[in-house]
Chains A and B, each alone.
Chain A
């Protein structure tokens, strides 16, 4: 089973919502669409579902062209950010509704709803109405309804975004297990890099209607092909600065310099953009090639287990993220160590140079 997008694009009037995209999504792991709000995640999903017609290109399911097939015939289910349930139905009837539409036998319905409720920890509240449930339970009901009918394609559009922090953590843990042994293609849209990482699977980074990179989640995080993909997959935002290479010396635009090694050593002379994730800029001298940088502290966020210090490196706003508590004075010049061995280098067109 697989879903293939071939040269798929979407244009509304003069606005290009989705640029031509090729993707091949397989079952067995969660396929994540990662991007900010309005990056095109929802549009792409609706096109996959058949809710939104394609401007160009075609969709293949198991090698068969389904571009013109109506949604009702595609065996798709979808979960939205808002908790969408039938308000006048009990939880049981909500979960059973797709099976009733499919005219499944009554005892079969009982069995499958029972199983699904067990899995979703809803067994105790099958008789309640959605309005009597907490947000997490409502969303679990919506998910149970999406999963009970054995859809070939399950689309989840930021399903955890409206939940309390701790509930989100819990469901994040449960979700990959739910899909582990199902033979269906799962697509999950999120704005949060950490969520993508924790789910593992595969990730497509989206930016302004373009899929910038697609592959194993971990490898995209650790080896972005370009500046935009790296930025999409970084929270807090990636630190950036202009860097010049001359001979063996790398010089940042604030004057900081060091001797090139590793990837940097293989670069030709010239100007590049350096990208460094905030956890590689820390107050202590650790890492493979720590280079001292200085900046005036703008904000200090100390969360008990972690310190996030925002400082100005010349004209760039940088963030240092480190374990433990590192008290600093706002407005003072402080020293940090940037582990340049972890840095990414991008050329003028934004492509990463891997050496």
Chain B
């Protein structure tokens, strides 16, 4: 398309450049700065090279929390994406129930993250919480504050409750954009419901689903508030995800160097994996 050669146009871009500089570049540079220096807390810094990076990458603790992070993220993706699509498929495409369904779906998304954490914490307490008591009453030995398995179960359940709606809304938007003619043609061609899903609905939802997977991946990989409020990373370190661990190192132990190096590694992992996701999912699109 044609470019308009107009120097004034740059002025319109300037505010964005400033914003990006303040929001991302400057803090990031601070982090980069810390990650290559050593300090003993008296505001004197020494050049440390890649020492912190080496330390973080070789540490057992980092490996463990990264592994927990991966398990968490892939579990919720494996549940939320199919579940979201399934719910979107059952929602009505037109009629008076559409706004009702949409509002119901959007509700969990409107609750602040720390409230979600607190809510589930109380909800799941084995002695007074509805969920905890019910589970125990029907014979499960459930206590998320003591047993790591139960803590994981609660954490994942909470995330699914909170975020599946987002996937539903995105998938639903993809579904309603399919013209009626496609369904009519499929009916005429004698396609069974699964074939309609496989050859019409899924391909047409592909773009929005890519966005859903990316958003959920990034969000869950960086998640902090909800699990922290729910379990505080425990019992033990069993639910200490990367972000929780990072905060422990940076603020709890005030190890700025390793924390900064870990932040950068963390950031690069997210960037790289997002890129991989996107490329894989859009691979066929180009043709």
Contacts and interface: CB of A to CB of B under 8 A. Distances in A.
Do chains A and B make direct contact within the complex (CB under 8 angstroms)? yes
A53 B6 contact: no
B2 A70 contact: no
B6 A46 contact: no
Nearest to A43: B2
Contacts of A53: 2-5
A52 B6 contact: no
Contacts of A51: 2
A52 B2 CA distance: 5
Interface string A136-172: 0000000000000000000000000000000000000
A186 to B, nearest CB: 23
Contacts of B3: 53
Interface string A50-74: 0111000000000000000010000
- The contact size tier of chain A is under 10
Contacts of A46: 2
Interface in B1-43: 2-6
- Which residue among B2, B3, B5, B6 has the maximum number of chain A CB atoms within 10 Å of its CB? B2
Interface in A19-60: 46, 51-53
A51 B2 CA distance: 8
Contacts of A70: 6
Contacts of B2: 46, 51-53
Interface string A171-197: 000000000000000000000000000
Contacts of B4: 53
Contacts of B5: 53
A53 B6 CA distance: 11
Nearest to A54: B2
Nearest to A52: B2
A158 to B, nearest CB: 19
A52 B6 CA distance: 13
A51 B5 CA distance: 11
8 contacts: A46-B2, A51-B2, A52-B2, A53-B2, A53-B3, A53-B4, A53-B5, A70-B6
6 tightest CB-CB pairs across the interface, nearest first? Answer: A52-B2, A53-B2, A53-B5, A51-B2, A53-B3, A46-B2
